[in-house]
Structure 1
Amino acid sequence: MKSFFKNVLANIVAVVILCCLFFVFFIVMIVVGSASESSSVEVKKNSVLTINLKTEIIDSPTEVQKDVFAFSNKSKEILIYDAVEAIRKAKDDKNIKGISIEADDLSAGITQIDDLRAAISDFKKSGKFVYAYGNTVSQSSYYLGSVADQYYLNPSGGIELKGLSTEVTFFKEFAEKYGIGIEVIRHGKFKSAVEPFIANEISPENKEQLSTLLNDIWNSTSSKIAASRKIELPQFKTVVDSLYGMIPEESVKFKLADKLIQKTEYDQILRSKLSLKEKDKLSKISLSKYVDSFKNEEKSGDRVAVLYASGSINSGDEYNEIYSEKYLKYIKDLQEDKKVKAVVLRINSPGGSANASDEILFELQQLKKKKPLIVSFGDYAASGGYYIAMAADKIYSQPNTLTGSIGVFGVLPYFKEIANKNGVRSDIVATNANSAYYSSLNGLSPHGVAMITKSVEGTYKRFVHFVTQNRKKSFEQIDAVGGGRVWSGTRAKEIGLVDELGSLNDAVKFAAAKANLKDYRVKSYPEEKTAFEQIFDGMNEDDISARVLKNKIGKSNYEILMQLTDKKLKSEVKMEMPFQIRID
């Protein structure tokens, strides 16, 4: 028996020691990773700035997801502001001789690619070369790569050039089949966020706005590709409609690519362009490393703060996305920070909670009383995302930004039929006439419907009120372009929902000028969390389960699942856009 207990104790000790060793290894890897990220980078002479598969362009520091266990994942997230600044810096950097675009599947949003493309076009004015190489190339990557002087394609590769489409998933029959009832209250005939729950096909109004939006974006991107490749627009349409890009020989025939070559042959072309001798090594520096080479350079104490608002808007106190309690603190800190002379609010959001949006708007209005507040739109500035922009002195959108969606809705699911089928019933005891105006089993009472309808209508009027104040238009003018409709940035400028078409960098420059700054530093808020902070902040059961589920079923399927199971659906009036459009 003593021997048995000795063996058990020995095993327990061994497990404890292994756990301790693993924890030490865990911490060391984080420290080593952080140290390597912050180490200085030397830019060698005769270098080529390279945009490759390891480049992931993000809009906000809150989008950074560090995973200490992913040792093989060498991708590096780069803020779009930093990426554009890097290309602009490279234009005058004597050590950078050209740019090589080698990304088959670029991780970036449509407006981010617009910014990168514009920066590379400006870089070409220096006389330096821009070349691109692809294997199996996504449409988004080709949109960027087509700006190059020469585009080379692998002999067994292809270009997925096909145009844009969007697919809306409907749950009405699913809900009916399983006895799930859904109460829907909305304002705005274009407020299509609720359509998946009440219909089996796209409404004429939604089809109209989606068609207009997709065509606006495609006309903008396709005209740029065609111009860069020197293809007439009618012929380019034929090439896209026929999917000629998928066949390498057809890609060359129809001028999508210049030549079919292997990657080693492409590298040899770069070597020749740099006049390298046989013994000389081809020096490529990734966009992320080039950003690291100058990002920590100190400038004047005066700052233009860029406050990033990326993701859905929610009530609460979490780091990722836009949580009201966190953002109220960020905004108040910026109000009191004497080094911050102006603020640019970068919005990349489809909206969310009406209450949280209203809280954030109020605090931004207080900030505006003290300092210039300029707004810049990314891929999305819709519903609540557009609402919080109404504190701005000036609003910059980009041509392909999804803008507007001025509308409000409420969705309240209930489960009476499925519960009753399975022998579950309820009885209610209450003190007042509407104590149980809503229950998860029985849904809304008639008076509950009336009151929530009144709440939705009141929220919509409040929304339009702030838009009329900021845009200096009448209620009727805003209501005519509202109703939940989404516009491209180009059309939003035409109808007066934004002031200028421009990038985040343009907004920063305007903010600095408005604050009379000549020498200043751009500072990002909220600050990016370290790997250690992110990992331990995310050690709760819900976060771990969500990450595992998202990895297992894929991001798109996960988002559909969240539409069905979002616990906030039954508790909040929403200012939210229903869909996301990706150029892929």
Structure 2
Amino acid sequence: MKKFTIQVMATIVGILSLIGISVIGLILLGIIIPSLFSGVEDNSVLEITLNKPVLESPSEKSISIFSLEDKTNLYLNDILNLIKHAKTDEKIKGISLKLTNPDVGYSEISDIRQALLDFKESKKFVYAYSNDCSQKAYYLASVSDSLFLNPNAIVELTGLSTEIMFFKNLGEKYGIDFDVVRHGKYKSAVEPYLRNNLSEENRLQLTELLGNLWTKISTDIAVSRKVSTQDINISTDSLFGFISNLSLKHKLVDKLLNESEYDQIIKNKLGISKDKKINRITLSKYKENLNLDLNTKNKIAILYAVGEIYTGKGDDAVYSKTFIKQIKEIKEDENIKAVVLRINSPGGSANASAEILYELEQLKKEKPLIVSFGDVAASGGYYIAMAGDKIYAQENTITGSIGVLGMIPNVKKLINNIGITTDYVTTNTNSLYYSPTQGMTAGMKDVMTQGIEITYKKFVGVVMNNRKMTFEQVDNLGQGRVWSGKQALDRRLVDEIGTFNDAIVFAAEKAKLEKYNTISYPIEKNFLESFFNKMESNDDDDIQSSYVEKVLKKDLGKDNYQLYQKIKNMNKNTGILYLMPFELSIK
């Protein structure tokens, strides 16, 4: 028996040793092999494809065992810094955009467009080629000196649209009801559960919002293509982009040619012969070959608030406990001299938003806090921005939504339909103030209504203090209504239209820094770090489910995952919320 036990233990030790050696070997291969092919060659072209999603924060990163030493994830700030560096890199002679359907928001595209416009001041070329061109791809590619299209390709220039999903019939069919209290005639986050179509107020704000965003996009395209906005709108309404010859005729593109012909144009530009290869370098490879860190301890922290806002712990959205821990780490780091709060959030829990705002206000007492809005900074996302010294937005940012709502589900009809009933005994009028099988009592509904009004006044009060407005002024801009960044600037809800980089530069000026490095929060983790973090999490944490969510997101695809989230998060979006009036997907 003793001999058998020794053999078993020896086998286990051998297996564990083999696993350990294999893991170390994978890591070493990941480090050594790329180094054998490192270096940016002379006469190179930086090629930008955006075939992978452009991430804002490490919290959006897909996790797998193959990401032990995965350096291919590109964040928006990486892309902006790499383009900026390429401008003065003598080895980089130009940029080639090969875009199809980039997974990125319109405000992020505006940031990248601006970086490319700045790059063009170096007199280096920016060319674009597409085998099929989505509207987002075209918006970015239109900034190029010359835009080439495959003769059989289309330019999907259609204008903007959004489609709202409604669940009222689903609830009625299966017996799920929602008790709803809201403040603000535009606070329509609950509409999908109460209606089958858009209210007139919601349709009005959506129409104005999309019109404002399209004005920005079409104007940018028209300026780059050297045509009028009227010409762009005619091409859009007539779908000229879907027929390549019409794309050429109406100046949407410069030339129709095959990719090999495009490559020859670049070779001519570089002054190399037909038989020579183009020295192409991707953004990921360029990042690996550069050390953008400056020789200084001074840092600017970029704190990302990406996703809905919830209470508790987690890393796939903005969870109050996790986020506050990051705020405190930044506050205690003496090398961090300023902070840029990058917000891409539609809001969420009112309590969580209030907790986060308080800690951000404490942070601002110690260090400059500058806010930069991404695609969306609405409701709770706008609320936490009120801690900032200055707020930057893009013209096509969606923001505002100053309003409050409360939503409580009940499944009484559902369980009755399947033959289940409940009864109860209480000692006081509101002992059972809420039950999923009974709904809310009249007394609880009255208390919740009062709570909504108090919470709304707090929201308005915070905005009044930061934006130096009266209650009436904020209330008129509030009521749950959303605005574009341009509209928000005109109404003094933000301070300046500017890029992500503009906010970072201003933070450096505020902290009187000439040399600085940036550090992102949350800190990026590899698979092993995320795995052990998951193992150490408590039962009430959302960190374990965060890992599953990232796997589901990868397997389901973006559109199916959004539908899954909408249904799954019905149970999270309860109580009093600072939540954007609708989940807006602009196409």
Q: Indicate the residue corresponding to 1:340 in structure 2.
A: 336
Match of 1:377 among 373, 378, 382: 373
Structure 1 residues 66 and 421, CA gap change in structure 2 (3 angstroms): closer
Where structure 1 has 5 or more consecutive residues not aligned to the other structure, the ranges are: 1-5
Q: By how many angstroms is 1:95 displaced?
A: 0.7
Per-residue deviation, 1:141: 0.7
Distance 1:28 1:582, change over 3 A: farther
Distance across 2 between alignment mates of 1:112 and 1:455: 37
Contact 1:383 1:575 in 2 (8 A): yes
Counterpart selection for 2:562 from 536, 559, 564? 559
Query: In structure 1, how many angstroms separate the alpha carbons of the residues matched to 2:335 and 2:139?
Result: 39
Secondary structure in 2 matching 1:271: helix
Match of 2:492 in 1: 496
Aligned to 2:218: 222
Pair 1:394–1:264, CA change in 2 (3 A): same
Q: Distance in 1 between matches of 2:296 and 2:547?
A: 42
CA gap of 1:30–1:475, structure 2 versus 1, over 3 A, is: farther
| Whole-angstrom CA distance in 2 between matches of 1:40 and 1:504 | 32
CA distance in 2, matches of 1:487, 1:158: 32
Preserved CA contact (<8 Å) 1:493 1:500: yes
Aligned to 2:437: 441
1:119 and 2:115 equivalent? yes
> How far 1:34 sits from its partner (Å)?
6.7
Selected match of 1:291 from 267, 271, 287: 287
Give me the identity figure in percent.
46
Aligned residue type for 2:228: E
Moved more, 178-187 or 476-485: 178-187
Question: Matched residues in 1 for 2:20 and 2:227: separation?
Answer: 58
1:44 lines up with 2:14 in the alignment: no
Counterparts in 2 of 1:551 and 1:521: CA distance versus 1, 3 Å? closer
Equivalent residues of 2:480, 2:581 under 8 A apart: no
Match of 1:3 in 2: none
Q: TM-score, normalized by length of structure 2?
A: 0.91
3-state SS of 2:355 partner: helix
Matched, 1:472 2:468: yes
Is 1:85 aligned to residue 114 of structure 2? no
1:532 aligns with 2:532: no
| Pair 1:89–1:558, CA change in 2 (3 A) | closer
Contact 1:189–1:483 (CA<8 Å) still a contact in 2? yes
Greater shift, 563-572 or 212-221, is seen at: 563-572
Closer/same/farther in 2, CA of residues 62 and 543 from structure 1, 3 Å limit: closer
User: 1:60 maps to which residue?
Assistant: 57
Q: How far 1:299 sits from its partner (Å)?
A: 2.6
> Which residue of 1 is the match for residue 389 of structure 2?
393
Whether the 8 Å CA contact 1:34–1:531 is kept in 2: the answer is no
Change (3 A) 1:273 1:384: same
Shift of 1:249: 1.5
- Aligned partner of 1:246 in structure 2 is 242
Offset from partner CA, 1:137-185 (integer Å, 9 cap, x none): 1110110001111111112111111000000111111111211111111
Q: What is the match of residue 539 of structure 2?
A: none
2:196 counterpart residue number: 200
Query: Aligned pair in 2 of structure 1 residues 519, 437: CA closer, same or farther (>3 Å)?
Result: same
CA shift for structure 1 position 554: 3.6
1:179-228, Cα deviation, whole Å (9 max, x unpaired): 11111111111111100011111001101111111011111001111221
Larger displacement relative to structure 2 (563-572 or 206-215): 563-572
Distance 1:353 1:39 in 2: 50
Instruction: Please give the secondary structure, in 2, of the residue aligned with 1:77.
Output: coil
**TM-score, normalised with respect to structure 1:** 0.92
Asked if 2 retains the 8 angstrom alpha-carbon contact of 1:182 and 1:411, the reply is: yes
Q: 1:330 aligns with which of 305, 319, 326?
A: 326
Name whichever of 31-40 and 362-371 sits farther off.
31-40
CA shift for structure 1 position 560: 2.8
The 5 Å alignment of 1:417-456 reads: 417-456=413-452
Counterpart of 1:270, as a letter, is: I
Of 465, 476, 483 in structure 2, the residue corresponding to residue 487 of structure 1 is 483
Once the two structures are TM-superposed, the CA of residue 277 in structure 1 deviates from its matched residue by 2.6
* CA 1:232–1:21: 2 relative to 1, 3 Å: same
Name the counterpart of 1:358. 354
1:40/1:293 contact within 8 Å kept: no
Structure 2 unaligned residues grouped into runs of 5+: 536-542
Q: Which residue of 2 aligns with 1:276?
A: 272
Q: Cα distance, 1:547 vs. partner? A: 4.8
2:148, 2:255 within 8 Å by CA — same for their partners in 1? yes
Native 8 Å contact 1:372 1:515 kept in 2:
yes
**Structure 1 residue 18 displacement after superposition:** 8.3
SS of alignment partner, residue 132 of structure 2: strand
**Is residue 30–residue 68 contact of structure 1 (8 Å, CA) maintained in 2?**
no
SS where residue 344 of structure 2 aligns? strand
Q: CA deviation at 1:335?
A: 1.5
Displacement, 1:561?
Answer: 3.4
Distance in 2 (alpha carbons) for counterparts of 1:457 and 1:37: 59
Are the structure 2 counterparts of residues 580 and 143 from structure 1 closer, same or farther at C-alpha, using a change threshold of 3 Å? farther
Query: Which residue number corresponds to residue 510 of structure 2?
Result: 514
Letter in structure 2 aligned against 1:45 = D
Is 1:576 the counterpart of 2:573 in the alignment?
no
> Please, which of 225, 231, 240 is the counterpart of residue 227 of structure 2?
231
- Superposition deviation, residue 69 in structure 1: 5.1
Distance 1:38 1:508 in 2: 31
Shift of 1:289: 2.1
| Residues 86-95 or 17-26, more deviating | 17-26
Q: 1:55 Cα deviation (Å)? A: 4.8
> SS of the residue aligned with 1:487?
strand
The alpha-carbon deviation at position 125 of structure 1 amounts to 1.5
Counterpart in the other structure of 2:156 = 160
Greater shift in the superposed pair: 305-314 or 570-579: 570-579
Quick check: 2:374–2:394 contact (8 Å CA) kept in 1?
Answer: yes
